[in-house]
Amino acid sequence: MTPDRMQRFQKDRLARGSRHPLFLIFVTLTAALTGIMTFGLVYWHDLSEAAFDREQLRTCANAWELAKTATATRLWALARLAGIEDQVLPLFAAGQRERLAAVMAPWFQTLRNTRQLTRLDFIQADRRVLLRMEAPEDFGDVVDGAPLLAAERSHVASSGLVAGAGGVGFELVVPLLQGGAITGFLDLGADLDAVLGELGTAVEADFVLLVDKGLADFRAAPGAAPGAVRPPWRPAGWDRFADLVVAAESRPGLAEGLVPGPADRMTRGERSLTVVSVPVAEAGGRPIGRLDGILDDGGRRRMGWIALATFVGAVLAAAGLAVVACHVLLYRVQPSLGLSGRQRHDMELVSMRDGLTGLYNRSALESLLARELAHVREAGLPLAVMIVALDDYRLLLETKERGIADKVALAVADSLQHQLRLGDLAVRNGGDGFILVVQRVGGMLARDVAERLRRAISGTRVETGSGLLPLSACLGIACYPESGTVSAELIGAAEQALALARGQGRNQIRMAEV
């Protein structure tokens, strides 16, 4: 049967089917059942509301635990990125406090300004502080927090919340081992507001951390060590809640005007908010308060359920008739219309990727970079755009055997992907170029990342017919917001920096001029 005859056959069959009494009966039953189902959904909603709340509680609790784990992982990754293991630990082991402070100060200040790190303490094996980067003049104190004690017992990293007179913070304590013995500890702290901000973005909700006021009014308990008394911690909005106080929030100003209500409700002005609360404890297990997830706005008054069900039932009944007709039409005709929605979606994904390396291609860069800039702009975080260009690539194409260009591109792409973190973007930019979008780095930290990438490429060897071929590349770096605030500005600044780097010779790095 020819395609024209097939289409005519389907059209005639569809027309006959639409006039058949059974078809009309089917449409009528569909409309009636839709109305009945609408009333049933109303009744089911009331019965399942409690179960839904329990499910939301489990979701928030699981997301909170994942957020703490991700924060601890990020803190240690930042420390390793700064060369903690290679450059800093020898100074720490030698007890060179002043030199250690001078080496770490620029890196720590950069991360502190971008809210990625709030504290960095070097603690000796006897638990005495050798250096506090946030207060270098304050040293010699004995640390006995729950994360440190846990790390001391287990010889593995420990993390969690720590509450005291200075407030509530998230800490990661990493024991430093040599020959199986602990030689000291590295204590890193994260900004709780930033942690809650990432949690809120992940689950699309707002979060407020409330802690017991008794912790804020901390005084030396009986038997406490000398010097345990500290100034009371009194944040803004102290009197807003009876027994609790806001310690952190997922976005600035979220807690302003919040008033506690009955059970799972809060209010802000005349609006009522639905809240799911998760108990929160210190790393040692002591309860300190709760994490409130503000999931939806319940300020609008509910319409009468009967009136709403009647309205929705009428709409769905009318829609049901159209759905049945469309279903019959699409079910019988779609095979002759070309690609399905899933196939078109798959083709769009393929069009964004480079066929050889699997990296994103240049045509996808604009939308991807615009999305990342929108994210960092909202979160107030830095971002770096790096352009990588291989040295002597054209000469390589002229002098080496056939297919060497593909081998080089694959080797460099694999090397870059092994160095980048999950969430960073790698884009192939022509034959010898790559564009990288590195999240949450800027300034000196961006240059450190570029140096690590340069070394990785320099250490890459490609097998050819005449032996192993060494590679090298130049990199140009542009940072948001110093070098630009939109995609075109950042890419242009990175290209200018790359041109300057290549002008200096092979295997060079250059930052964009601010």
User: What is the full per-residue pLDDT of the chain (514 aa) written as tens digits?
Assistant: 344 444 444 444 444 444 445 455 555 666 666 666 665 555 555 544 545 555 666 777 787 788 888 888 877 777 776 666 667 778 888 888 888 888 888 888 887 887 678 888 888 889 898 888 888 887 888 888 888 888 888 888 888 888 765 677 888 888 888 888 888 888 888 888 888 888 888 777 788 888 887 765 544 444 444 433 334 455 556 667 777 878 888 888 777 777 776 656 677 766 777 777 888 888 778 888 888 887 654 444 444 445 556 656 666 666 666 556 655 554 444 444 444 555 555 556 667 888 888 899 988 898 899 999 999 999 999 999 999 999 988 777 776 567 788 888 899 999 999 999 888 999 998 878 999 999 999 989 999 999 999 999 999 998 887 888 889 999 999 999 999 999 999 999 999 999 999 999 999 999 998 7
Quick one: fold of 82-190? Beta-Lactamase (3.30.450)
Contacts with 245 (C-beta within 8 Å, 6 or more apart), sequence order: 210, 211, 213, 216, 235, 237, 238
pTM for the whole structure: 0.46
Residue 472 · residue 458 · CB < 8 Å: yes
Contacts with 398 (C-beta within 8 Å, 6 or more apart), sequence order: none
Quick one: fold of 350-511? Alpha-Beta Plaits (3.30.70)
Instruction: Spell out the domain ranges in the chain.
Output: 82-190, 194-297, 350-511
- Residue 353, burial from CB neighbour count under 10 angstroms (0-12, 13-18, 19+): middle
Residue type, 325: A
d(CA 421, CA 88): 23
Q: Closest Cα partner for 435 from 420, 445, 422, 448?
A: 420
* φ and ψ at residue 402, rounded to 5 degrees: -65, 140
d(CA 449, CA 477): 10
3-state DSSP call for residue 214?
Answer: helix
Helix then strand count (H, E) for the chain reads 14, 19
Which is it for the CA torsion 452, 453, 458, 463, positive or negative?
positive
